[in-house]
Amino acid sequence: MPHAADGDRERSLTPAGVAAATRMGAYLRDVGIVPDLVLVSSARRTRETFAAAEAGYGAEWPGRFEPSLYNAPDETVQALIGETPAEIKCLLVIGHNPSLAECALRFSARGSTIDLSRLQRHFPAPCLAIIDFASMSWHEAASGGGDLESFITLALLDQAEQA
């Protein structure tokens, strides 16, 4: 990981990280997921992840940079999700571990045993935990009860390309 003279918050995304985020953006496009809002940590590498994912997607997303997401505890992430306006149907959060992993686990009450097992073992950067909360409000969703539709990692994308 490259070090930044101004500290961790200003650490850049590596070239491999840019390529990975670009692939994740393309994946979202390919499966037809359109974020209505993207909450992004204010750290430089998450802002760069957002830009690379948008580039891979091929369209701009409505984003909001959230300083409180930087190395936030999972309760902060939960609270931000719970405050999401009702008109937002698809929310994407770009932040940091371990809080995103903990939230994904807490939010995923159901799903395929394979995806749930993989999610419990490792939440690598980048990855996508696609969780459906059906008709719940975001406030209700922040307490859990969602269905893990899929858990996508770079390793899975590599396997799919080789098949």
Encode pLDDT of 12-65 as tens digits.
999 999 999 999 999 999 999 999 999 999 999 999 999 999 999 999 999 999
For residue 72, being part of any structural domain is answered with yes
CA distance 46 to 60: 16
Most confident of 49-53, 79-83, 131-135, 142-146: 49-53
Total structural domains within the chain: 1
Tell me the residue length of the chain.
163
Q: What's the pTM value of the predicted model, to 2 decimals? A: 0.92
Per DSSP, what are the bridge partners of residue 40?
A: 65, 94
* CATH of residue 145: 3.40.50.1240
What pLDDT, on a 0 to 100 scale, did the predictor assign at position 5? Answer: 53
For residue 75, being part of any structural domain is answered with yes
Q: Which domain holds residue 81?
A: 8-162
CA distance 31 to 79: 28
131 DSSP assignment:
E
Residue 126: CA count within 13 A, CB half-sphere: 28
Model confidence at 1: pLDDT above 50: no
For residue 33, being part of any structural domain is answered with yes
